[in-house]
Amino acid sequence: MTFDEILTQVLDLLQRQGRVSYRALKRRFDLDDAYLEDLKAEIIQAQRLASDEDGAVLVWTGATPAQTPEPASPTPQQETQPDTPAAPATWGGPFAAGREAPEAERRQLTVLFCDLVDSTALASQLDPEDLHEMVRLYQETCAAVIQRFEGHIAQYLGDGLLVYFGYPQAHEDDAQRAVRAGLGIVAALERLNARLERERSVRLAVRLGIHTGLVVVGAIGTGGRSEQLALGETPNLAARLQGLAAPDTVVISVTTQRLVQGLFVCHDLGSQTLKGIPAPVPVYHVLAERAPQSLLEMAVLPA
């Protein structure tokens, strides 16, 4: 992860939490003392967005996004003017209820891309109505798991799903939620397959790819066909990672792996060359969720 990527993640975390300890930052981002000092210099001295407290805690001092000034009372001249459309409210993030989003918003997302394996072969085996029912059951199964971890299905792409963790609602542990959702989808489809094999002699399999990075989220399309989609390298890389995965497996980038390190059992697949990505990307196969080692760890894991 580059310095700018870590800086963006730290600022996002600090803005949401208000304060964060240096020890937590070092553990979360695997920082050494020199790297941490460079981050502190940029945030405290260069950008003036935080202050140091007792040499142990970084405290947010920048503008609070959820705060907006009270509207000024109208002047007599304004009261006599005919009604005109109000300007859009200042955007304050996903938690600023009642505000209108801008055309585009820059933020960090963890993107999960899920695709059905050998759907073309499946289509040749089944009647179109039966195929439609299979895809519906598959999508419902995936959606139930994604909803449990508060992910957002941005698009149904035929038999693929594009899922955001971190938009429209952000969590501190979005990367962890995405990986747990990926493993949950594989497990849920295994249960669905027990029924499909018995009733239809059909078995479904999926591939899942996950990557975390910066995107710009905004409206794509015109008129009634507009969608809120994330643009940038992150969704593309998640889709490429999905293509690397074996059936019924979850593959993640090194960026996501660093954010969930210690929480999952992963197998290092080495650096992989992905189409459209200029440099090889270190990739990991997620084998399972690691059992909590203490009651304290259990307390911080999401339900």
Measured at the alpha carbon of residue 37, what is the angle toward residues 34 and 38, in degrees to the nearest 5? 90
In this structure, the answer to whether residues 190 and 56 fall within a common structural domain is no
Looking at the structure, do residues 163 and 220 belong to the same domain, yes or no?
Answer: yes
Q: At what angle do helices 22-29 and 33-40 cross, to 10 degrees?
A: 120
Based on the fold, state whether residues 55 and 173 are members of the same structural domain.
Answer: no
The pLDDT value recorded for residue 63 is: 53
Q: Number of folded domains in the chain?
A: 2
Q: Does some domain include residue 124? A: yes
- Say which residues have a Cβ less than 8 Å from residue 190's Cβ, sequence separation at least 6: 248
Domain shared by 37 and 150, yes or no: no
**CATH number, domain at 46?**
1.10.10.10
**Does residue 178 fall inside a structural domain?**
yes
- What lies within 8 Å, CB to CB, of 170 at 6+ separation is 12, 16, 93, 94, 107
Q: Is residue 249 part of a domain?
A: yes
pLDDT for 13 equals 79
Task: Specify the pLDDT at position 31.
Answer: 83
Look up the CATH number of the domain holding residue 167.
3.30.70.1230
Asked if 170 and 290 sit in the same domain, the reply is yes
Rg (CA), the chain: 22
Together in a domain, 227 and 127 = yes
Q: What is the mean pLDDT of residues 34-40?
A: 82
**Which of 60, 78, 94 lies at the terminal end of a domain, its last residue?**
60
Q: What is the pLDDT of residue 301?
A: 52
Share of the chain above pLDDT 90, in %: 43
Cα–Cα distances (Å) from 285 to 72, 113, 207, 259, in that order, read 56, 14, 11, 15
How many other CB atoms sit within 10 Å of the CB of residue 166?
26
Same structural domain for residues 28 and 126? no
Q: Assess if residue 203 is contained within a domain.
A: yes
Q: Establish if 66 belongs to a structural domain.
A: no
According to DSSP, the residues that pair with 289 across neighbouring strands are 264
Least confident of 4-13, 110-119, 137-146: 4-13
Confidence of residue 19 (pLDDT cuts 50, 70, 90): confident
Q: Report the residue count for the chain.
A: 303
Residues 111, 51 share a domain: no
Of 116, 114, 211, 204, the C-alpha closest to 162 is 114
For residue 222, tell me if it sits in a domain. yes
pLDDT at 136: 92
What residues make up the domain containing 136? 104-300
pLDDT digits (tens, 9 = 90+) for 85-136: 333 333 334 434 444 445 678 889 999 999 999 888 888 888 889 889 999 9
In a domain, 180, yes or no: yes
- Regarding whether 203 and 123 lie in a shared domain, the answer is yes
HEC readout, the chain: CCHHHHHHHHHHHHHHHCEEEHHHHHHHHCCCHHHHHHHHHHHHHHCCCEEEECCCEEEECCCCCCCCCCCCCCCHHHHHCCCCCCCCCCCCCCCCCCCCCCCEEEEEEEEEEEEECCHHHHHHHCCHHHHHHHHHHHHHHHHHHHHHCCCEEEEEECCEEEEEECCCCCCCCHHHHHHHHHHHHHHHHHHHHHHHHHHCCCCCCEEEEEEEEEEEEEEECCHHHCEEEEECHHHHHHHHHHHHCCCCEEEEEHHHHHHCCCCEEEEEEEEECCCCCCCCEEEEEEEEECCCCCHHHHHHCCC
pTM value is 0.63
Are 173 and 260 in the same domain? yes
Instruction: Decide if 189 contacts 200 (C-beta within 8 A).
Output: no
Interval 51-62 mean pLDDT? 83
The DSSP bridge pattern shows strands 249-253 and 206-220 to be: parallel
Give pLDDT, residue 48.
Answer: 79
**Residue 46 shares a structural domain with residue 157:** no
Q: Is 185 part of a structural domain of the chain?
A: yes
Q: Do 47 and 120 have their domain in common?
A: no
Question: In the predicted model, is pLDDT for residue 72 greater than 80?
Answer: no
Nearest Cα to Cα of residue 167 among 221, 115, 108? 108
